[in-house]
């Protein structure tokens, strides 16, 4: 008989033990950045800083009005320069320092807060706000936190238009193969997405990962998790893990 999911305030749970051979997959989303002051889509009342998604966050929007798209992302880059990592970001950096490559840190966020906290090799599945790439040639994405408010930047190799290195609506997230490879290796999964995959697929050692949700509200798929720990990430993550 499958035990019922325990759903309660996060402070009612003990720390999650991380054994010597355990591999941990952590997926972070908008909530962790919101606690540092980064505005989210839902916080903006259905708009992204007074813009419709269709106007600033799709390939069609960039083709139609690249100046508007760059103006929007330039403003977001300015905001990214003014925010700092919170205790949740710092806790994950500490966990990585303790267990090294046995932690796979994957984020849906495009901001650099995990890196500013000290995390390394963060997998940005939706891209990185402070990087730019060419929409015409195979030039590798490069770090570029410049503001382009008046004109669209051009590639100095092919002359094509440069675009923010982010995944827009309608595009495929980066590195899905790597993500599923790491999912198939992990023993502990404190995250919301991909949980159905883990529920139906044991890891490479024949065990099912322990699936934990951490967030402010009960998720719609709460029944898929072993535990739902409710609360702010910045309050729960510093004591979430106990490394053995």
The rounded distance, in Å, linking the Cα atoms of 120 and 112 is 11
Residue 223 annotated to the active site? no
In this prediction, residue 150 carries a pLDDT of 84
Residue 43: pLDDT over 60: no
8 φ/ψ angles, rounded to the nearest 5 degrees: -165, 165
pLDDT in tens, 146-188: 888 888 999 999 999 999 999 999 999 999 999 999 999 999 9
Residues 88-114: tens digit of each pLDDT: 999 999 999 999 999 999 999 999 999
Which residue, among 235, 234, 215, has the nearest Cα to 225 in the 3D structure? 215
- Among residues 126, 143, 165, 223, the one annotated as catalytic is 126
* Confidence (pLDDT) at 212: 96
Give dist(CA 88, CA 85) in Å, integer: 8
Residue 21: pLDDT above 60?
A: yes
How many other CB atoms are found less than 10 A from the CB of residue 229? Answer: 23
Domains in the chain, start-ordered, CATH in brackets? 1-38+85-126+173-244 (3.40.50.1220), 39-82+127-166 (3.30.1600.10)
pTM for the full model?
0.93
Higher pLDDT residue, 48 or 139? 139
Measure the CA–CA gap between 109 and 28, rounded to whole angstroms.
7
Single out the residue of 26, 24, 27 nearest to residue 186, CA to CA.
Answer: 24
């Amino acid at each position: 008989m499958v035990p019922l999911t325990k759903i309660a305030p996060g402070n009612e749970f003990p720390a999650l033990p991380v054994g010597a051979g355990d591999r941990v997959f952590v997926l972070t989303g908008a909530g962790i950045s919101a606690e540092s002051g980064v505005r989210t889509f839902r916080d903006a009342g259905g708009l992204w800083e007074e813009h419709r998604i269709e106007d600033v966050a799709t390939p069609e929007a960039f083709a139609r009005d690249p100046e508007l798209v760059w103006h929007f992302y330039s403003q977001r880059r300015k905001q990214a320069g003014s925010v700092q990592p919170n205790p949740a970001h710092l806790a994950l950096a500490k966990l990585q320092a303790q267990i090294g490559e046995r932690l796979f840190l994957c984020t849906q966020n495009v901001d650099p807060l995990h890196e500013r906290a000290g995390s390394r090799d963060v997998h940005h599945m939706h891209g990185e706000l402070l990087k730019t790439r060419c929409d015409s040639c195979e030039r590798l994405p490069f770090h570029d936190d410049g503001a382009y408010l008046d004109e669209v930047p051009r590639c100095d190799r092919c002359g094509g238009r440069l675009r923010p290195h982010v995944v827009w609506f309608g595009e495929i997230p980066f590195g899905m193969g790597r993500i599923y490879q790491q999912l198939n290796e992990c023993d502990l999964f404190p995250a919301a997405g991909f949980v159905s995959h883990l529920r139906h697929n044991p890891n490479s050692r024949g065990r099912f990962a322990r699936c934990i949700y951490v967030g402010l509200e009960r998720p719609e798929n709460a029944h898929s998790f072993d535990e739902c720990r409710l609360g702010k990430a910045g309050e729960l993550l510093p004591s979430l893990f106990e490394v053995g």
